[in-house]
Structures are given as C-alpha cells and as structure tokens.
Chains A and B, each alone.
Chain A
Amino acid sequence: MLKTAFFTLLSLAIAIGGGGGSVWYALQAQSGVGAISIGQWTAFPEIGTQDADPYSKARVAREGVLALGKAEGLSFIAERDAAGDELQRQCDYKIEGSFPTARFWTLYAADQSLGVVDTGKPRLAALQSYQVLRQPDNSVIIAVGNRPAPGNWLLTEGFGRMYFVLTFYDTPIASSTGLSDVTLPRIVKAGCNA
C-alpha cells in the first residue's frame, strides 16, 4: 500500500517537475523554435504574430514583449563570436562586414535581459547607421570595448555575458522572402582584459 503511494507520488513528481521545468528551460533559451540563424546572428521573424509557434507565444506573454512589426523592422541577436565563444563584457570585439538594405540600423550591447548595457557614462552602448564611418566598399568596421578606439567605437563596460542586438528598420528583409541571401557582419574577438 505504502509502495503504491510512493510510486504514484514519484510519477506525479516527475510529471509535474519535469513538465514545468522543461517549459521554463525552453523559454529561457535564446535559440529555439522559429529562429533563423545567419552567421552568429539569430532572429525570430515570426515572434509576436499569430503565426508564431507556441514557444514564441509563451515567451511573448511571459516577458511582456511587444515585438517589432514587419513594417517596422527586424532584430538580430548574437550571443557568440565567430570562434563560437560566448560574448563577454570584459572583452574587446571587432564587428566587421556589410549590412543588408534598410533605411537605417541600430546596434547595441545588451545584458542578460536584453536591455542595453549600463556604461555608467553619458555615452550609450549603442550605435546607429547614420553616425558610423564606412569603408570605401561601404562595409563597416566597429570596435567594441571599454577603451576609446578610432573609427567606430561601441562602448561596453563591466563583466559577464553580453549580447549584441542589431536591428534593421524599414527593411525588405523583414518580409519573409528576403532572408535567404542576407549576409551579416562577423564578430571577431580582439582580446580580453581579464
């Protein structure tokens, strides 16, 4: 009798704990269903629409996200550099390459919650395309780090994990056809001051 009760309880514990825990885990992960990856960058073009998968819908509801509409823009998030290492706030990076067609884009360094990194200075950890210097071939090289750099400089500060969020506004790539042959800039680690 006691054994039966024990096994029933065990089953229930696995079912509820495992079920709830796996949902929580799936909603924490940055990648997942409905993601499109280009190089190190990941986007969720369907997020926040009726066509989104149940995981995206749950994430939208739980985090109170109001996702960008298709006529507004599309966000890409990077959590690793070209070598596959996690992005760190104490490291310097170089973001280089060409950017797809858009009216303009913004790039910012984000913390775990995808809010902009707090630099503690008047300068934001963000850049936008109207203010960047371009190479002769129209590509862009951006130095990321906590020390000023010539050319384009994205200020970061502090320690721990970091994400880059690159958002294209009023862009044809937000419509479903445009994503196949898009190339995005590479993220290369330049060094760490550990």
Chain B
Amino acid sequence: MRRLLHAILLGLLGAGIVHIVVLLLVPEFTERDAWSRLAMASDLYKMTRLDAEAGGAPVVKSVDPLFYAAACRFDLAEGMVRIKAPGSVPFWSVSVYDRNGHNFYSFNDHTATGNKLDTVVLTPAQMIDVRRELPEDLQGAIFVEAPIEEGIFVIRAFVPDDSWKPTVEQFLDQSSCELQDY
C-alpha cells in the first residue's frame, strides 16, 4: 500500500515536470504555428491573403470578420525587405512578427506619411549601411529595425461595409513584399 502511494506521489511529481517541459517545448516543435501555416500556403516574399474571403479556409485564425488581411514571410539574412501598398482605405494597420509569431512592432495609417503604406524592415546592421547614404526612393519610408532574421509581415485593412470590399481587396492585392537591393 505504501509503495502504491509512493508510486502515485512520484507520478504526480513527474507530471509537474512533464507539464513544464511540454509547455516550453510546444512553441519549438509545433507545426501549426503561423509561420508553418504560411509556409504551406506560399513562398517567401509573397503576399498571401489570410482571410477566408479569398477562397478556402483562413490561413491564420482570429482575423476579425470585418477585416481583410495579408501576410508575407521574409528572411532578413538575404537582405532588407520593402513592403508597399498603394491606394487608400479607411484604416490599415501592420505588424511585424518574428519566426515564433511574437509581435514586436506595429503601427497604423496615422503613423505613415500621407497614410501611404511604405515600409522597410531591416536589421540594425543593415540600418547602419542605409543611414550612411539614404537612397532617394526610400525617403518617405518607415524603417522598422528588427533584430531578427526570419519574420512575418501582416497588413490588416478595415472593411466597414460591403461597398468597401473591392477597394480593400485591391489595396491588399496590389501590396508588394520585395527584397530591396541596396
């Protein structure tokens, strides 16, 4: 009897340890995180619609039904990435995520010059290079310094009602996510 109690106690202690280990390993080994889902849907530097409206199941969960969203994956080890979207919509906001889906930078249309989305994501080292001589066409861009390599860039745009759908759709379809030569 005492041995049974001993075994159960030992088991509970082990359960605590397993709980912590599993919890910490879930982010490392999951194949269902945002990066993996996007990787299944499209390549690096390719804007992909996240909402179900574009056909098929939504790539990434918990997108507001009154929003359209698009995302692209990038790798700063290959160079800095520039994200642009022409046109104007009632509201847009963007977020930069690292490989694990942690949000580390976000801003919305009030931050941008003339409400135009024009952003460059780059590492601090690349930033130093760019600062030395700022190219003409990057003058109006918002620079996001990111101490990461792989990451995800997400654009969200508000669709107040059905009449805005074509405009917002066009805004996201024309958005680009490109390696910027420097």
Q: Verify that A and B bind, or say they do not.
A: yes
Q: A residues engaging B (CB < 8 A)?
A: 3, 7-8, 10-20, 22-23, 26-27, 48-50, 52, 54-55, 57-58, 60-73, 75, 103-104, 106, 108, 113-116, 124-126, 128, 130-131, 165, 167, 169-170
> What is the bound-complex CA distance between A167 and B13, given in angstroms?
41
- Tell me whether A54 and B66 are in contact (CB under 8 A): no
The answer to whether A169 and B91 touch (CB under 8 A), given A18-B15, A64-B32, A64-B37, is yes
> What is the bound-complex CA distance between A7 and B6, given in angstroms?
9
- Tell me whether B32 and A63 are in contact (CB under 8 A): yes
Q: Report the count of interface residues on B (CB-CB < 8 A).
A: 59
In the assembled complex, 7 residue pairs joining A and B whose CB atoms fall closer than 8 Å, in A order, are A23-B19, A50-B102, A64-B32, A65-B62, A66-B60, A108-B65, A169-B108
- Tell me whether B11 and A14 are in contact (CB under 8 A): yes
Segment touching A, from B20-28, B75-83, B166-174:
B20-28
* Best-buried of A3, A8, A61 by chain B (most CB within 10 Å): A61
> What is the bound-complex CA distance between A26 and B107, given in angstroms?
32
Summed over the interface, the residue pairs from A and B with CB atoms below 8 Å come to a total of 192
Interface residues of B in 60-107 (CB under 8 A from A): 60-62, 64-67, 71, 91, 93-95, 97, 100-107
- Tell me whether A12 and B108 are in contact (CB under 8 A): no
- Tell me whether A58 and B11 are in contact (CB under 8 A): no
- Tell me whether A57 and B16 are in contact (CB under 8 A): no
